[in-house]
Amino acid sequence: MKFTETKLKGAFLIDMEKREDNRGSFARSFCRREFETHGLNPHVAQANASHSLRKGTMRGMHYQKTPFQEVKIVRCTRGAIYDVIIDLRISSPTYQQWVGAELTADNYRALYVPEDFAHGFVTLVDDADVFYLVSQFYAPNSECGIRHNDPMFAIQWPEEIKVVSDKDNAWPDYGP
């Protein structure tokens, strides 16, 4: 695996190194030792999967508050998504900044989302599947979110947002 840190310290794009032969290909998608070597949290409490039917489906921007902050390792296993994270660490020099990356089934790329980051994505095609490992169990009383169109962040989505849950549309404007 190749780890490339984004402009948001502690957030990494992870490119899986495919090995190909006459059978097809193989790539390691997770290795606790490699995550630890890069100073990343390798703990996994849950593995989640989502399926989105339509292009332009928005999921996020989600995070959990103290003491249930979570690390996520996100990969698109079918189709394509534009994945976005926002740095919500008040003491960080990149506080309230965001980065986005295209994750596709074909590019074998994952995104490591540190604790205290909001995370969400929009599907770029119909029938997209996303698989992610999460370091904490879901804690409903700690759940928070940011609307995809919150003016504080001005995220530039590459796809028109067409499908959003009522819950994700109802998050108030962000305030620390």
Residue of 62, 82, 119, 174 marked catalytic: 62
Number of other residues whose CB lies within 10 A of the CB of residue 91: 6
In the chain, what are the helix, strand and coil shares in percent, each to the nearest 5? Answer: 5, 40, 50
Q: Helices in 21-174 by DSSP H: which ranges?
A: 32-37, 166-169
Q: Are 163 and 92 in contact (CB under 8 A)?
A: no
Q: Among 165, 144, 133, which residue's Cα sits nearest to residue 69?
A: 144
b/e 24-33 (16+ beta carbons within 10 angstroms → b): eeeeeeeeee
User: Is 119 one of the annotated active-site residues of the chain?
Assistant: no
- Is 43 annotated in the active site? no
**Considering 119, 132, 148, 174, which one is annotated as catalytic?**
132
**Sheet of 109-113: strands edge to edge?**
2-5, 12-15, 109-113, 72-78, 128-134, 46-52
Q: Which residues are catalytic?
A: 62, 132
